[in-house]
Chain A
Amino acid sequence: MPDTSLYEEEHYPTPLQATWSEFRQRHVAVVGLGILIFFIIMAILGPLLTPFEPTTQHTDAVLIPPAWNDNGSILHILGTDALGRDMLTRLFYGTQITLFSSIITVLVALCFGVILGVIAGMSAGLRSSFINHVLDILMLTPTLLIAIIIMAMLGTGLTNAMLAIGLALIPRFVHVTRDFVRQEMSKDYILTAKLDGATSSALFIYNILPNMVERLIVQGTLAISVAILDISALGFLNLGAQTLMPELGVMIADALSTAYIAPWNILLPGLAIFLMVLSVNIVGDGLRSAHRNRMSH
């Protein structure tokens, strides 16, 4: 196609902009992003808008079905649970807790993972081999097992669950970083920078990191979906968030005792988790495809 721009300069999109335009072309991915943004907004604004508190027990309004059911009431649009707590409110707070704790966990894991990956990638020999072994074991151990060990040492609770899952997520970031660093170290532009006299850290921060950001975003997004699933699973098993918190997994576990009479108490929180994970997966998949497409053009 002939260049018909009026100006002398040509516009070269930055890698991120290129990825974003690729991403935009896939409609599914955009829809997924829309759903994800909806959840994020719900998590931030929802708790401010709800008329009830998540822990208030309305003892006169116990086990009310959602409003579209015959026995439902418009006061509690999504019904109440066995202690009379409003379901919609709890869903908002629950989304907040689950989503934000997952994001925080992934961010922390990402930071540690990148640092470790850089050390592993830039070094060689026994130290890197040792780190590799430990990381491999960490990656091969089932997440639940790591969580159980941390719980046994430190006790249960949401923060300990986040710690455990963060530990389990670190290896994948280490791998991305280390592979990428190794790969880039042998390339010419790094050599040029070295010849210019750049120190290792400067090398990393100014040369390698910008190229890596995209991959990290892709990995991070996928890690968020894993973190959401794991945190809610640990909440469900009462190993993570405990019974008083309106965390989505905990809500499902609480609803088990009235499962036959009030199945919406299981369906709704589970649906929230499912949709959150689905949207994150769609976005992550879209980002990955976009990145791959950009690289192959």
Chain B
Amino acid sequence: MIRFHKLFTPVIFLPILWLSGCGPSHDIQQQHLSDSIAPDGVIYCSEGNPSYLNPQLDTSSTTSDVSSHQIYSRLLDFDEQTGRIQPALASSWLVSSDGLTYTFQLRRNVEFHQTEYFQPTRSFNADDVLFSFDRWINPSHPYHEVNGGSYPYFDSLNLAEKIQSIKRINGYRIEISLFERDSSFLANLATDFAVILSAEYADMLAVDNRQSQIDFYPIGTGPFKFDAYQKNQFIRFLPHLGYWRGVPQSAQLIYDITPSSAIRFAKLVTGECDTIAYPSQAEIDVMRATPNIVVEEEPGLNVGFWAFNTSKPPFDQPIVRRALAMAIDKNSILDAIYFNSASRARSLIPPSSWAYNSSIKEVSYNPIKAKELLNQANIPAGFKMTLWAMPVVRAYNPNAKRMAQLIKNYLAAVDVDVTVVTYDWHAFRDKLSQGEHDSVLIGWSADNGDPDNFYRPLLSCEAIPSGTNRAMWCNTEFNALINAAIRIPDVDLRASLYAKANNIIAHDIPLVPIAHANRYQVKAHSIKGLSINPYGSIRFENVVKAPKVQQIDNQDGRP
């Protein structure tokens, strides 16, 4: 046999030498020491792609989280702690004694973003407010039909019909007149959706006939300006140096789009993200135990529910809906899906709202009675129905697919054959608004503290065309009650009306409320200035990251 040990050495070491030449050479290290400092910024792992960079066009919280408090400002804001309405772009306001006229004094010296695609020549004034509101109020406005022409939040509340006029009194004063008193009007102006766009930018785009760009290359007065967006990858924001509340302290803000909640958590652990969206309930305990990760918890203004498409037989019969509601055990669903980080929902309204009444009679788990009722309604054994499960994670339902599997099992016990259906989020909501579903697992997070924000978009007759009334349910008595309640400023009177409304829902069961989830915020230890916003989407303007030095000389540059 050939002795080859003399050849052993070069053969082994040749490739190793070759590989070792791949490192940076010593001289380069000396010269470019500044090259070795990594840029700073905050990375947020978000759960999906925004449909537009403008929350007017979409009620999805993905879109609001991206744009609402980052790119734009509103006339009014909610105080995160108390829920009270605070001045924002409107520095002060007056309400007339008959409650029909609101006069807003606008803040001066508020600057718009300066980007590669737009240089503002003036600061914010009344024209911008007029443009932003007219766009969705006035169907003949040149920008109304741009990018779809549907403004789901405003449409579901019929806000456009309620506003009689918006007048420009002078460059910094606006007057809005309503047809009827509406106690929730100011709250609606403080929601994520009532953002203020730049009229000058809109005019510039109109000249070049590129109007649709307004929702994809946005300009606003918010703390961050848009830099880049790559679908399914990331969104990058840079600080707005002229922000009226003071320049944000983050050097950049990046949304790392990661649809899977397990991967978001993993990235938080490895340090690739500083804070994450929608942590999975199953992992909250583990997150609490992980060093360098902070978990914050607060009861949420939300509800997860199972809605029946009451426009499709046999789901138009209340007895069928009641039977199906009796067939499932909410408690075990709560345990398996929410891992005890939510409370059982007995009505649409969560206990933290003043419209909640504890005397609601809710349906209890009774599969035998359920089968009886199904037989009574002449539903044959093996009846097939679809159950649509939303593909995204939301606070009110962290895993709709799994919940759908559990419900499927329960309904199989009463001889109902369920097919679980899902699509990607955009297609899912489109098809839901067409009414293709038999039933759907979805929910709602409140946009403001007003209970009307639960009832109107979810169960009013007017909300059917805008798509937010998933049960396609229209009950005249219920509608009358909520319309009456909106006109009364007295909270107790409103509460009694809402109590009656709750009873109607409990009796008719257009939907089965399942849980009110706690809201969590999970972030790295080094992040300060980020708190849970119960009244809207996430706000990054005050976020500061404790500095960490990253240099090549250090072997592990992570804290």
Contacts and interface: CB of A to CB of B under 8 A. Distances in A.
Indicate if A touches B (C-beta under 8 A): yes
Contact of A59 (B261, B280, B335): B335
A57 B337 CA distance: 13
Given A57-B409, A83-B402, A256-B262, A261 B336 contact: no
A83 B336 contact: yes
A293 interface: no
Contact of B266 (A83, A84, A259): A259
Contact of B336 (A59, A257, A258, A259): A59
Nearest to B265: A260
Contact of B260 (A62, A256, A260, A261): A256
Interface string A4-41: 00000000000000000000000000000000000000
Interface in B225-270: 260-263, 265-266, 269
A251 interface: no
Contacts of A63: 282
A84 B339 CA distance: 13
B286 interface: yes
A185 interface: no
B406 interface: yes
B266 A257 contact: no
Contacts of A257: 260-262, 280, 282
B436 interface: no
Given A257-B261, A260-B265, A83 B405 contact: yes
A62 B280 CA distance: 15
Contacts, number: 37
Contact of A62 (B262, B266, B336, B405): B336
Contact of B262 (A57, A59, A83, A260): A260
Contacts of A256: 260, 262-263
Contact of A261 (B261, B282, B402): B282
B298 interface: no
Contacts of B336: 59, 62, 83-84
Question: What's the interface size class on A, roughly?
Answer: 10 to 19
Interface in B403-437: 405-406, 409
A59 B260 CA distance: 23
Interface in B268-302: 269, 280, 282-283, 286
A4 B73 CA distance: 102
B286 A260 contact: yes
A82 interface: yes
B332 interface: yes
A256 B402 CA distance: 14
Interface residues of B, number: 18
For chain A, what secondary structure do more than half of its interface residues adopt (helix, strand, loop), or is it mixed? Answer: loop
Contacts of A259: 262, 266
A260 B284 CA distance: 11
Interface string B308-350: 0000000000000000000000001001100000000000000
Contact of B406 (A59, A258, A260, A261): A59
A126 B336 CA distance: 64
A63 B263 CA distance: 18
A295 to B, nearest CB: 23
Contact of B282 (A57, A59, A82): A82
A116 B266 CA distance: 49
Nearest to A262: B282
A260 B261 CA distance: 11
Contacts of B260: 256-257
Contacts of B266: 259-260
A84 B409 CA distance: 13
Contacts of A57: 405-406, 409
Contacts of B282: 63, 82, 257-258, 261
Interface in A243-283: 256-261
Interface string A74-103: 000000001110000000000000000000
Interface string A229-254: 00000000000000000000000000
B405 A258 contact: no
A294 B282 CA distance: 58
A189 B174 CA distance: 104
A157 to B, nearest CB: 16
A70 to B, nearest CB: 15
Given A258-B282, A260-B269, A261-B283, 17 more contacts: A57-B405, A57-B409, A59-B332, A59-B335, A59-B406, A63-B282, A83-B336, A83-B402, A256-B260, A257-B262, A257-B280, A257-B282, A258-B283, A259-B262, A260-B262, A260-B283, A261-B282
* Shortest 6 CB-CB contacts between residues of A and residues of B: A257-B262, A59-B336, A59-B332, A261-B286, A256-B262, A259-B262
